[in-house]
Structure 1
């Protein structure tokens, strides 16, 4: 499942800015370094699925919204089980 991606940098950055969430806030919520978080938002790297899920929670992005591009029901179920 490591190739699963719910990350949409532009959309998530818009949410981050609108809610006033800093890169430091995201780093603390995901347990990842500030430098790694900035690389995600500058498009230099893609966060792991685990980090994507934690970031969605930190940004208040509903699970259904975060999963909208994942259509495989087994994958959706696996991701839900991690979040809930």
Structure 2
């Protein structure tokens, strides 16, 4: 399976700052230490798809934007479902 990426650290970083959401808060939402989150946003590591979905939820990222780089319809459906259901 290829890596699926809906995470755009630059755009999502701007949204994080605009909404005043801390790395600590994102870490809590994703169930990881805030250091992991900072590594994601600084480009040192890439979050897995499950964490990308949790980040999108925590940042209230628009579904259309989150799926912009995903072309496979089945994958889009799974991500759409995960983003819309807790």
Query: In 1, Cα distance between the equivalents of 2:19 and 2:26?
Result: 12
Shift of 1:64: 1.8
Q: Tell me the distance in 1 between the aligned counterparts of 2:82 and 2:45.
A: 22
Give the count of matched residue pairs.
84
Greater mean alpha carbon deviation, residues 74-83 or residues 6-15: 74-83
Write the deviation string for residues 19-70 of structure 1: whole angstroms up to 9, x where unpaired.
1000001001110111111100111000010000000010011222111111
- TM-score, normalised to structure 2, is 0.90
Scaled by the length of structure 1, what TM-score is found? Answer: 0.92
Equivalent residue runs for 1:1-84 within 5 Å: 1=1, 3-83=3-83, 84=85
Pairwise CA RMSD: 1.2
Counterpart Cα distance in 2 of 1:53 and 1:46: 13
Contact 1:9 1:43 in 2 (8 A): yes
Structure 1 gap segments, 5+ residues each: none
Alpha-carbon distance in 2 for matches of 1:80, 1:50: 12
CA distance in 1, matches of 2:34, 2:64: 27
